């Protein structure tokens, strides 16, 4: 009797997802937009932004270098910056190599160059290298090393941290999501992922999920990584590196929509995660609506199809037993 009742409820939810269609997915995305908006009004959020201001914005080339050497890296800074934040780089940690400009202040001459006409770019120096905003010339680059957050230890950074999910996930959901990942040509492994809950390596076509989290969190993380793959984020590493905040907002928003549609309660994690990547500009969350709903639909469709087939098989079995 309990099996029959559970099947009936699950089938009703599946039918609702199909018939509600895009409206239901859009409504779920609106939930995460509103939840993130409420979160960023907190005092903890302001403290987190003050800390974030100490981290540099890196060039396209350096973002690609960071992503290639440490794809799981989130916040990255130099040795002294980490010290100023009350953290120390761990013994034996290997730095992430990036390029820093070599700047020189040009020697002054008695000759005064005429000002460039309005609307034109200033002329380059005699060496053919344009001066920076501070009047210094960039005459080459040198290799410097930075370190990711997971390579440091010490005082926790002010942040609004996502709350890890605990407990079990819906039965069969991990296997169903793993099948979709495999269909994209990736393999799935659980194990040591450092301080990250999971990450995707497009070079080896491998998805890693932490082996130290509960099943519910593992499924949510796998769903997040599947969203990256399904949305095309990992297929273009340079674009991902330069638009990582947008990609992370999209992936976790998809995870929220799909997980919620499957009966999971993930707002305690997803709202804070999305807010952390969106920063003070919440327009990035709303602008992701089309990508989020379309990607969620592609993931949900095979899940709904499998659930409907399972429900039909269960109903036929119950009918045979009743006969």
Q: DSSP letters of 184-196? A: TT-EEEEE--TTS
Question: Using CA atoms, how far apart are residues 103 and 217, in angstroms rounded to an integer?
Answer: 47
Residue 62, classified by CB atoms within 10 Å of its CB into exposed (0-12), middle (13-18) or buried (19+), is: buried
Range of the domain at 69: 54-107+137-158
> Is residue 65 domain-shared with residue 141, that is, in the same domain?
yes
Q: Are 83 and 77 in contact (CB under 8 A)?
A: no
Whether residue 224 is found in the same domain as residue 259: yes
pLDDT recorded at residue 61 = 79
In a domain, 97, yes or no: yes
Over the Cα atoms of the chain, what is R_g? 25
| Residue 267, in any domain of the structure | yes
Tell me what pLDDT residue 165 has.
Answer: 97
Question: Residue 254: beta bridge partners?
Answer: none
Cβ 145 vs Cβ 97: under 8 Å: yes
Stated as kind and residue range, the H or E segment containing 2 is helix 2-39
Domain count, the chain: 2
Rounded-to-integer distance, Cα 50 and Cα 66, Å: 23
Q: Are residues 299 and 184 in the same domain?
A: yes
**Counting every residue, how long is the chain?**
323
Same structural domain, 187 and 228:
yes
Q: Please, are residues 3 and 318 in contact by the beta-carbon 8 Å criterion?
A: yes
Residues 243 and 211 in one domain: yes
| Two structure tokens written together for 41 | 């009004």
Q: 305: Cβ–Cβ under 8 A, 6 or more apart, which residues? A: none
Q: Quick check: is 190 in a domain?
A: yes
Structural domain contains residue 287: yes
Tokens of 148: 């990711």
Strand partners, 97: 145
DSSP 8-state class, residue 129: -
pLDDT in tens, the chain (323 residues): 332 333 233 333 443 444 456 678 888 888 878 888 777 666 666 565 566 566 666 776 787 788 888 888 878 999 999 998 899 999 999 999 998 888 777 765 444 444 433 333 333 333 333 444 456 677 788 999 999 999 999 988 876 678 999 999 999 999 999 999 999 999 999 999 988 999 999 999 999 999 999 999 999 999 999 999 999 998 877 778 788 889 999 999 999 999 999 999 998 899 889 888 887 777 888 888 889 999 999 999 999 888 777 665 554 445 444 54
List Cα–Cα distances, 100 to 54, 129, 142, in angstroms.
17, 16, 5
Residue 145 falls within a domain, yes or no?
A: yes
Q: Are 228 and 180 in contact (CB under 8 A)?
A: no
Q: Are residues 98 and 189 in the same domain?
A: no
Whether residues 210 and 310 fall in one domain: yes
Determine, yes or no, domain membership for 239. Answer: yes
Count other Cβ atoms within 10 Å, centred on residue 148: 23
Cα 126 to chain centroid distance, Å, stands at 44
Q: Where are the alpha helices (DSSP H) in 111-212?
A: 173-183
In a domain, 128, yes or no: no
Residues 142 and 266 in one domain: no
CB 38 within 8 A of CB 208: no
Do residue 315 and residue 187 come from a single domain? yes
Residues 176 and 145 in one domain: no
189 and 59 in a common domain: no
Its pTM stands at 0.60
Terminal alpha carbon distance of the chain: 15
């Amino acid at each position: 009797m309990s099996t029959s009742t559970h099947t009936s409820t699950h089938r009703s939810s599946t039918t609702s997802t199909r018939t509600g269609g895009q409206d239901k997915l859009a409504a779920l995305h609106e939930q995460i937009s509103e939840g993130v908006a409420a979160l960023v009004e907190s005092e903890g959020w302001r403290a987190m932004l003050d800390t974030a201001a100490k981290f540099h914005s890196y060039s396209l080339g350096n973002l690609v270098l960071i992503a290639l050497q440490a794809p799981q890296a989130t916040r990255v800074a130099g040795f002294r910056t980490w010290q100023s934040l009350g953290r120390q780089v761990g013994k034996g940690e290997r730095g992430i190599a990036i390029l820093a400009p070599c700047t020189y202040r040009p020697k002054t001459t008695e000759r005064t160059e005429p000002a460039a006409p309005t609307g034109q770019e200033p002329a380059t120096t005699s060496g053919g290298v344009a001066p920076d905003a501070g009047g210094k010339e960039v005459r080459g680059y040198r290799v410097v090393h930075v370190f990711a957050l997971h390579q440091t230890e010490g005082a926790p950074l002010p942040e609004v941290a996502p709350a890890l999910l605990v407990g079990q996930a819906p039965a069969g959901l991990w296997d169903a999501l793993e099948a979709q990942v495999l269909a994209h040509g990736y393999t799935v492994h659980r194990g040591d992922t450092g301080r990250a809950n999971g990450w995707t390596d497009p070079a080896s076509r491998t998805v890693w999920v932490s082996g130290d989290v509960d099943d519910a969190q593992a499924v949510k993380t796998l769903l997040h990584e599947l969203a990256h793959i399904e949305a095309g984020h990992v297929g273009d590493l340079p674009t991902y590196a330069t638009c990582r905040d947008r990609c992370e907002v999209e992936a976790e928003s998809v995870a929220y929509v799909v997980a919620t549609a499957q009966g999971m309660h993930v707002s305690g994690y997803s709202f804070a995660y999305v807010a952390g990547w969106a920063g003070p500009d919440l327009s990035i969350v709303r602008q992701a609506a089309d990508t989020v709903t379309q990607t969620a639909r592609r993931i949900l469709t095979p899940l709904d199809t499998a659930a409907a087939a399972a429900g039909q098989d269960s109903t036929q079995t119950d009918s045979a037993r009743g006969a």
